[in-house]
Amino acid sequence: MTGCYIIYSPKLDKFYVGVTQENVQIRLMKHNSHFYGKNKFTATTSDWDIFLFIPTNDFAHATRIEKKIKSMKSAKYIRNLKKFPELLDRVVRCT
C-alpha cells in the first residue's frame, strides 16, 4: 500500500519519516534489519515501531506529505498529527 509512514525509536527518542509503495510492516522490518545499509539513520538502532501510517492513492501524494512533515522539523508536530485528526486531515488535503 502506498503511503507516508512515521516510525519511532524509543531508544533514540527520534522519529523517521518516509514513503513506501510496499506493505508498511515489510518496510519496518527492513529498517530494523538494516536492509538500507549500516550508514543510514535508521541503522543506528533496531527498535523502530510504526507511529503513524498515512495511506495515499499515489506515490507523488505520499512524497508531498513526507516533505510537508519533514519541513516542520518538529517531534511535537508529529505527535500532534496522531493526537489531532483534524491536523492530519489538513495535511493530507493541502498537499
CA distance 95 to 31: 26
CA distance 58 to 62: 7
CA distance 81 to 52: 9
> Could you tell me if 45 and 9 are in contact, meaning their C-beta atoms sit under 8 angstroms apart?
yes
* pTM reported for the whole predicted model: 0.94
Residue 94: predicted pLDDT: 84
Q: What is the pLDDT along the chain (95 residues), one digit of tens a residue?
A: 899 999 999 999 999 999 999 999 999 999 999 999 888 899 999 999 999 999 999 999 999 999 999 999 999 999 999 999 999 999 999 87
CA distance 57 to 86: 19
